[in-house]
Structure 1
C-alpha cells in the first residue's frame, strides 16, 4: 500500500528532510509536464526504504558516512554481497 509523502517525510531523520523536499518538488514538476507519475512513485518507494533503514539512526548515519567516503574515493573496507548475506543468515 502506498504511503503518503507527508508520512514519509515525517519519518525521515531531520538531516534528510531537505533533500526529500527538493527531490519531491522536482519529480512533481516533471510529472506535471509529462502527466506521468512513474517517477514520483519510484522516488517515494526509494525514500520509504530510507525510512526503513533509518529505524536505527546510528547505523543509518554510519551507512551514510561510509557512502560519502566511498563516493569521495576513500579506501573503505567492504565485503562481497554473498559474504554479507552469509553473515546475516540470508
Structure 2
C-alpha cells in the first residue's frame, strides 16, 4: 500500500468495523480486507502500481487507452 493510501484504508476499516459492531456481521470487514490485500500485492512494485492508478484515472475520465482482457493479462503474467 502506498503511503497516500493509508488514510483511505484507515477510514474504510473504521467504517467497516463500526458497522460490524452494530450488525454483528463481519462480511463487510472481510471483503474490505480482501480488497486491500489485493492493493498491497499490487503495490509491491510501487512504480507499476502508480502507473496502474494513473491509467485507471485516465480511463475513468473517459480517455481511450489500449486495454486487454483479464484472461490475456493473466496468461501474459503467468498467473
TM-score > 0.5, shorter chain as reference: yes
Length-normalised TM-score, structure 1 = 0.78
**1:83 correspondence with 2:68:** no
Q: Following the alignment from structure 1 to structure 2, what is the Cα–Cα distance between the partners of residues 56 and 43?
A: 21
Structure 1, unmatched stretches of 5+, are: 1-11
| CA RMSD after TM alignment | 1.4
Aligned residues: 79
Length-normalised TM-score, structure 2 = 0.87
Off by >6 Å, runs of 4+ in structure 1 = none
Structure 2, unmatched stretches of 5+, are: none
Give a deviation string over 1:16-50, Cα, whole Å, max 9, x none.
00110111111111111111111101101111111
